[in-house]
Amino acid sequence: MTRFRSDLLRVYQERGFIHQITDPEGLDARAASERVVCYVGYDCTADSLHIGHLVSIMMLRWLQKTGHRPVALMGGGTTKVGDPSGKDDARKLLAEEIIATNLLAIRKTFASFLHFGDGPVDAVMANNAEWLDELRYIPFLRDIGRHFSVNRMLTMDSVKLRLERDQPLSFLEFNYMLLQSYDFVELAKRYGCNLQMGGSDQWGNIVMGVELGRRVAELSLFGLTTPLITTASGQKMGKTASGAIWLGAHRLSPYDYYQFWRNTEDADVGRFAKLFTELPLTEIARLEALAGAEINEAKKILALEATKLLHGEEAALSAAQTARQVFEQGTIGADVPSFAILTDTPMGLPQLLVEVAISASTSEGRRLIEQGAIMIGDQPVTDWRRKLSVADLGERDDLKITRGKKKIVSVRAKT
């Protein structure tokens, strides 16, 4: 294992962030002797980032904490093209108005993790539409496109895997690699950016940007990728039955975010604490050593610390209190999602599960019920023909519905 001298790469290595680096010795020397300016790009395909983006956001946070300058690049321009990396199908092309709306929404997430301002290590938020929208096609091909070999582009995973699976790759998407490389050079000129980070599926695009900088401007640039984060059971992290784990509170409540971390697999607690919290490594080692029922306390600490970073201490403590009320005291906490849905007309339980986002479809809801995964109040229900109405509330204001140990909502009368 390489022994890094710089605080930056030492932290990355100790906490498990590093997969590949274009020039480890060179980057380590640079980070040890001067300020590194690093960017990560985020396309605006939705109005919230999701947990798949959290590794790179945490890396930008650690970068700033170790005395370097982070650049969060919003893909106002590249979103119009669509990144083919890791995708079997072309991304849906979005209207400019939707892209602009999404961009404004996801900006808020970064304020929880980075300090923005005009200081030497203060974060910068840039938008590649500023330069990509102004490009002229023929000059771009002549000045930039000539540095790219189609033969080599075809060997990059973002292209090769799509072709191997006989999935169409549009000429528009094929251009994405050129645009991302051009972003790196442009950011180097504007902000002195000399490092690009991204997931392992971005390696080819990042290498191309490093090489383009050397060829067109004799720039010394670096690239670093992170490993694909999977759970101990082999699943891609953040992929759940109920959908993506969003970072925006308008998409996923702080309580549900807390619960996601609270339900981490036992074997993942230490690794996720290194990646997604700022707990000292000595404390994480203590948590990793816990066994049996004690591991649940470690999960609570992981959930609290991760939720603090994104939503703040008050929201995290409130989510933890709600979890205690629900799972330890048997009551409905204040942060449990509540739906005003019950009327005098009975509603089939499978349809109700869809309405409250416990299941994705009525057929899935029916399967969950038959498998005994659904509880109404504190009683399991196995008859998918069950219906609920206002009458089921009795003297209560609301009724608790639970899916396993991970998802809980309350339903009340529709007003």
pLDDT per residue rounded down to tens, the chain (415 residues): 678 999 999 999 999 999 999 999 999 999 999 999 999 999 998 999 999 999 999 999 999 999 999 999 999 988 888 766 655 455 567 888 899 899 989 988 999 999 999 999 999 999 999 999 998 877 887 788 888 877 787 777 767 776 777 776 777 677 788 899 999 999 999 999 999 999 998 998 899 999 999 999 999 999 999 999 998 888 888 755 556 899 999 999 999 899 999 999 999 999 999 999 999 999 999 999 998 889 999 999 999 999 999 999 999 999 999 888 776 655 566 667 778 888 888 888 888 888 887 888 888 888 888 888 888 877 788 888 888 888 887 777 778 888 876 677 888 888 7
Indicate if 175 and 317 belong to the same structural domain.
no
Return the SS3 of 43: strand
276 and 173 both lie in a single domain: no
Give yes or no: residues 291 and 175 share one domain: no
Q: Report d(CA 24, CA 37) in Å as an integer.
A: 16
CATH number at residue 382: 3.10.290.10
Q: Report the 10 Å Cβ neighbour count for 119.
A: 9
Examine the domain organization and report whether 297 and 343 are in the same domain. Answer: no
Picking from 288, 321, 354, the residue at the C-terminal end of a domain is: 321
SS3 (DSSP) at 63 = helix
How deeply is 117 buried, as exposed, middle or buried, from its count of CB atoms within 10 A (0-12, 13-18, 19+)? exposed
Q: What is the CATH number of the domain that holds 302?
A: 1.10.240.10
Same structural domain, 164 and 289? no
C-alpha distances out from residue 414 to 343, 358, 400, Å: 6, 19, 15
pLDDT recorded at residue 242? 55
Neighbours of 45 (CB within 10 A): 17
List the alpha helices (DSSP H) in 242-389. 254-262, 269-276, 281-288, 295-311, 313-327, 349-355, 362-370
pLDDT attached to residue 331? 58
Residues 207 and 270 in one domain: no
End-to-end, the C-alpha distance of the chain in Å comes to 63
Residue 177 within any structural domain of the chain: yes
Assess if residue 329 is contained within a domain. Answer: no
Contact 398, 411 (CB under 8 A): yes
Structural domain boundaries enclosing 51:
7-226
Whether the CB-CB separation of 101 and 108 falls below 8 Å is answered with no
How far apart (Å, rounded) are the C-alpha atoms in residues 148 and 211?
10
User: Measured on CA atoms in the order 397, 403, 406, 407, is the torsion positive or negative?
Assistant: negative
CA 28 to chain centre: 27
Structure tokens at 261: 């971390």
> How many structural domains are present in the chain?
3
Same domain? 147 vs 209: yes
DSSP 8-state secondary structure symbol assigned to residue 274 = H
> DSSP string of 397-409?
SEEEEEETTTEEE
H-type helices in 40-119, by residue range?
54-65, 96-110
Strand partners, 380: 375
- Looking at the fold, whether 310 and 379 belong to one and the same domain comes out as no
pTM for the structure as a whole:
0.80
Tally of CB atoms within 10 A around 334: 11
Whether 26 is in a domain gets the answer: yes
Residue type, 178: L
Give the pairing of strands 69-75 and 124-127: parallel
Q: Determine how β-strand 338-342 pairs with β-strand 347-348.
A: unpaired
Let me know whether 88 and 171 are in one domain: yes
DSSP character for 116? Answer: B
Domain boundary among 179, 207, 226: 226
> d(Cα 229, Cα 50) in Å, to the nearest integer?
13
* 390/396 Cα distance (integer angstroms): 10
Two structure tokens written together for 266:
């036992």
Q: Are residues 202 and 295 in the same domain?
A: no
> Do 354 and 296 fall within a single domain?
no
- State residue 233's pLDDT score: 84
Residue-level pLDDT at 88:
47
Residues with active-site annotation: 45, 50, 53, 87, 91, 180, 201, 236, 239-240
The total number of residues written for the chain in this structure? 415
